[in-house]
Every structure is written in C-alpha cells, then in structure tokens.
Amino acid sequence: MSQDDILLPNGASLSREVVRQLSWNDETAGSEWFDRLPALLREYCDAWNIQLEPGIPQLNYNLVLFGTTPDTGPVMIKTGPPNREMTAEISALRVPGREGVVRVIDADPSVSIMLQERVVPGTSLNEMMDRGEISDEDATVLVAEAMQRFWIAPPIGARIIPLRSWFKALDDYVDAHPDGTGAIPGHMIEVAIGLADHLLNTTIEPMVLHGDLNPGNILWDETNGWTIIDPKGLLGPRGYEIGTWMINPYGLHARPDLRETLDRRLDQFARLLGIERHRLWQWSVVHAVLSECWTLEGGGVEPDHLHALEVANVLLQLPDAGRQ
C-alpha cells in the first residue's frame, strides 16, 4: 500500500487512481470524499450494525462492500462521491412493494450511501447467456418482464433524472464536430437528434425507468428469483428502456445473425410491452448513437470499439427505416 492509499475499515485499501475512477474524473469531489470515507464507513457500519467482509467485490462507478447484519443477514453498502445518479438511484429504489427489485434497507442521499439487501448468489443473466444456459430469445422475455416490474409513476418528491438531459450529449457531439467528420457519421447524429425530439415531444405519461437494464444488472437470487440492481433512476418514456438491451450483451455487434436478432427482439418487445414496434425501433437507434457519444466523451477510443455504432448501422437497414 502506497502512502497515498487509504485504508478502509474492512482492511481493503483504495488508491488515488481508483478514487479518480470512482469520482468520474472530478478530482476535487473525489479528494474530499476520499479523505472522509473511512470515518463515513465506520459511522454507518455502527449505525446499521454491519460486520464488513474483507476485500472489495467490485469496482465500477461506485464503491461496493459486502457485509452482514444480525437482522437481515447478507447486505451490501454502496457509496461514492455525491452525484445526481446516486441520488436518483436511491429515489428509484426506495419504492416499497416491488417484487424482483433489490431492496434498499436504508440510505442517506446527503452523503451518497445506501444499504441494500445482498442478492445471493448473484449470478447475472449475462453469465448465464455466456455459458449458453439461456437463449437470447428467452433472455429478451426475462428483460421485458423485468422492465414491467420496475416501471412506476414518479413518486412525489423523487429526485429522478429527466431523460431529456441525457440527450445533451448528442448536441455536445455536434458542437465538437461541426463539420461532421467525427467517428459517428453526421447523418446518423442528425437522425438520432430528430428522432429523440419527436419521441420526447409525443410522450404522454413518462415513467421511472431503470436506464441501464443490461444483462449484468439482472441477478439471480436464491429466494426472490431474478432481481434488478443498479438503476440510473430516469424519468422518460417506456420505449426508451429497450435501448440498452438492443446493444447488449457485449459481443452482440459481431454476431453473424445480428440483423435477425435485432429484428426478432423488436417484435418480441412490441408484443410483450404493448408498444408499437416502429417507436421501439426509433428509441433503439437513438440510444445506440447516444451510447457512442458517451463512449467518445472520454477520448482515446479506437473506431473498432464503437460496437453500438455497428448496431445502429444494422437498425438503419431494417424496413422500419423507411417509415415516417
């Protein structure tokens, strides 16, 4: 452990480099959070009566630690530098009575920390698909069912992220490439922006969406069955929700039957969700292009890593592209 590393109450350590990752490169916020993290964890472990397990089970955009409590058994702490996504996630999850959604036992949005019931064994849908234990067609059914379990009308006072705010990334990309010579073809950006405006302006009843319902965010629980984790907490039209699945799982873009897979998924979702297929196709195009705008924001991306762009290209070759 280097002199700059910080020791957590369970004996694990975090480096400054990891903190920058967890801070989404906001070094000021990351440094402040980093300095008070050990005391924060000790305070809430005492308040929640948690015995932490050693190690760090995963590191992505937030810090996750496993532990147990006398009342609940296996639990998970999730924390990170305060940001609107963590606040929105807490709001989206703190709705009682939804089956198949991970349970939040307690949370404090002011310091960006929450205590969740742990999903055990936590095998992801992604892992089962990789092992060939579930087909793409059956997985799409599971995903559609998960969406319907998660969707709710926005609770009063909930701090949910408006979908429209996400589409600023499309405009930012155009501003950064006014001559249309960026990695994403100019006509594709124009199509995505036009579709997004049309779809948002014709939405009647926005719902609380997950926002990132990929096969890694649906886990098997030995007691509760398939369980949804890690929502973004998004307010928008139901149709947008399928966009993440339409560009997943990883490697989908390289499948020789990509066109047939996307075509069949659109038919499945239209039937299972009761949403017009053409509208779902429109949302799929928008999300695939938006996803690549996010990918390119960080820079240093090779053209062959733009997997969602390949999905968008195939979507634009489907007969749906010829409809108004």
Query: Strand (E) positions, the chain?
Result: 6-7, 13-14, 51-52, 58-59, 63-69, 73-79, 104-108, 113-117, 121-124, 161-162, 207-209, 218-221, 225-228, 234-236
What's the length of the chain? 324
**What's the confidence (pLDDT) of residue 208?**
95
The residue with tokens 């007691």 is 223
Query: Which amino acid is it at 119?
Result: V
Q: How far apart are CA 311 and CA 288, in angstroms?
A: 7
Give the DSSP letter string of 24-87.
TT-HHHHHHHHHHHHHHHHHHHHHHT-EEPSS-SEESSSEEEEEEETTTEEEEEEE-S--HHHH
Element (DSSP H or E) covering residue 144: helix 136-150
Give the C-alpha separation, 258 to 315, whole Å.
10
- At 1 the pLDDT is 47
pLDDT of residue 305: 74
Task: Name the residue type at position 248.
Answer: N
Residue 47 CB: number of other CB atoms within 10 A? 11
Helical (H) or strand (E) element with 165: helix 163-166
Domains in the chain, start-ordered, CATH in brackets?
6-117 (3.30.200), 124-322 (3.90.1200)
- Beta bridge pairs of residue 107: 114
pLDDT number for residue 58: 75
C-alpha torsion 32→38→40→45, nearest 10? 160
- Can you count the helices (H) and strands (E) in the chain? 12, 14
Split the chain (324 residues) into runs of 10 and give each run's mean pLDDT.
76 80 64 87 97 86 93 95 90 87 95 96 96 97 97 90 96 90 91 96 91 97 96 96 97 95 98 97 98 83 79 95 73
Would you say 50 and 77 are in contact if contact means Cβ atoms under 8 Å apart?
yes
In 3-state terms, what secondary structure has residue 272? Answer: helix
CA distance 285 to 280: 9
Count of beta carbons in the 10 Å neighbourhood of residue 191:
18
Pair of tokens at residue 13:
């350590």
**Burial track 244-282 (b if 16+ CB lie within 10 A, e otherwise):** bbbbbbeebbeeeebeebbbebbebbbeebebebebbbb
DSSP string, 228-258: E-----EEE-GGGGHHHHHT-STTGGG-TTH
DSSP assignment, residue 322?
G
